[in-house]
Amino acid sequence: MQNHKIIVIGAGPAGLISAQILAEKGFKVQVFEQNKASARKFLVAGNGGFNLTHSEEIQTFLEKYESIEIQNIVRNFDNKRVVEWLSKLGITTYVGSSGKIFPTKNFKPIQVLKAWLDYLEKLGVEIYYNHTFLNFDESYVYLKNNTTDLKLNYSKLILAMGGGSWKKTGSDAKWVEYFKSKNIKITPLESANSGYNTQKFLHQLQGQYLKNIKVSFENIEKIGEIVFTKYGIEGSPIYFMNRFTRKQNFPLIINLDLKPNLSEAEILQQLKGSEKISPILKKKIKLSTTALNLLKTLDKESYLDIENLAKTIKKFPIEILSFRPIDEVISTSGGVAFSELTENLELKKFPNIYCAGEMIDWEAPTGGYLLQACFSTGFWVGNSIGKN
């Protein structure tokens, strides 16, 4: 086993877990990373609530992923196994009120990463920083370290260079061009878990939140919280819709139900027979200030027509114009097409080269599903190589 030279490119969650699995099986593993440190995007994820996976039962969990290939891989190393694996590293977790799984408060993101890196060091995994992957062929991987070019022979090469968002974390997606030059099909990288740009009149609501509303696009619905921004809207139900709006032509209409727990008839009933609309909306129907502000963007005639108003409260149309730019969004869709990969995630055109993590063509909403799929694909690749 020690004769096998296993090289991993990318010290993000996908690369590190594949290195771990192989090192646990006794393989010698070297990881090359272009940054000065490991897993910068993983740490960025930690800034806004570090949800490492989600506690949902497996069937509902898997529905968050579109393709059957990624569903199978996640099922094999699922949310329960992520929790077990973290516990092996000494990281305790808890389930938040939304079902998301976080490390307990005594573990800051940097401590989670440190515990993991310490374990990898004990296993003998070597991590080389400031090494940028340049290219590969059937036998060698080409890297650059400051001014020196390196040509390293490998038995197995794992590529885990991430998606294309937040370039400053190291995931610059330069690998896409190398892959394309080798005729490996790449589904174009696009913004995922992205806000939408909307019409200008909504920008006046910048900074205002709508809680417990239902967002819908065609027959897809999601309840949650959204926030208006200087360019449009953000929030988890918005990110959830990305996958369904991706293949459509913009502009598109998504609808907001501002009062999901009341029917249109119940709202109309409250509005009937009252001279003043705004106090009823506020005191009886209990719409939030932001919802009232949104309704005030209607023209006077539409606002005063109570039948129309009741309908609009249940189905406020928002015209969305486009996604936000790739560099600022949480993740990217697209990547190495599954048709280019064997069941083991090995490149069909280049046996002995494997892909893991966000650089593969899958997408998922926030809520722990992204890191979960990175852990699962890294585990899958490590195990596939380990079995051979």
Give the strands of the sheet with 28-32, arranged side by side. Answer: 126-128, 28-32, 5-9, 156-159, 353-355
Q: How far apart are CA 381 and CA 352, in angstroms?
A: 11
Taking the alpha carbons of 368, 23, 167, 248 in that order, is the dihedral positive or negative? negative
Question: Is 15 a binder of ligand FAD (CB under 6 A)?
Answer: yes
Least CB distance from residue 227 to ligand FAD, whole Å? 15
Quick one: tokens of 104? 């307990």
Q: Candidates 68-76, 162-170, 244-252, 341-349 — which segment interacts with ligand FAD by CB under 6 A?
A: 162-170
Find the binder of ligand FAD among 41, 214, 314, 324 (CB under 6 A). Answer: 41
| Close Cβ partners of 274 (under 8 Å, ≥ 6 residues apart) | 280
Largest CA distance in the chain: 84
Is 374 one of the binding residues for ligand FAD (CB under 6 A)?
A: yes
Number of residues that bind ligand FAD (CB under 6 A): 40
Which residue, 132 or 245, is less far from ligand FAD as judged by CB? 132
Piece in contact with ligand FAD (CB under 6 A), picked from 45-53, 105-113, 243-251, 295-303: 45-53
Residues 170-229 contacting ligand FAD, CB under 6 A: 170-172, 174-175
- Both tokens assigned to 235: 């929030």
Are residues 178 and 26 in contact, defined by beta-carbon separation less than 8 angstroms?
Answer: no
Of 44, 292, 298, 321, the one binding ligand FAD (CB under 6 A) is 44
CA 231, CA 329: separation in Å to the nearest integer? 14
Question: Which residues contact residue 306 at a Cβ distance below 8 angstroms, ignoring those fewer than 6 apart?
Answer: 268, 271, 272, 277
Distance, CA of 212 to CA of 232 (rounded, Å): 18
Shorter beta-carbon distance to ligand FAD: residue 91 or 287: 91
List the interface residues with ligand FAD, window 324-363 (CB under 6 A): 330-331, 357-358
Looking only at residues 108 through 127 of this chain, which bind ligand FAD when binding is defined by CB under 6 A? none
Write out the two tokens for 307.
């039948």
Rounded least distance, CB 86 to ligand FAD, Å: 13
Provide the binding-site residues for ligand FAD, judged by CB under 6 A.
9-15, 32-35, 40-42, 44-45, 48, 51, 132-133, 160-162, 165-166, 170-172, 174-175, 330-331, 357-358, 366, 368-371, 374
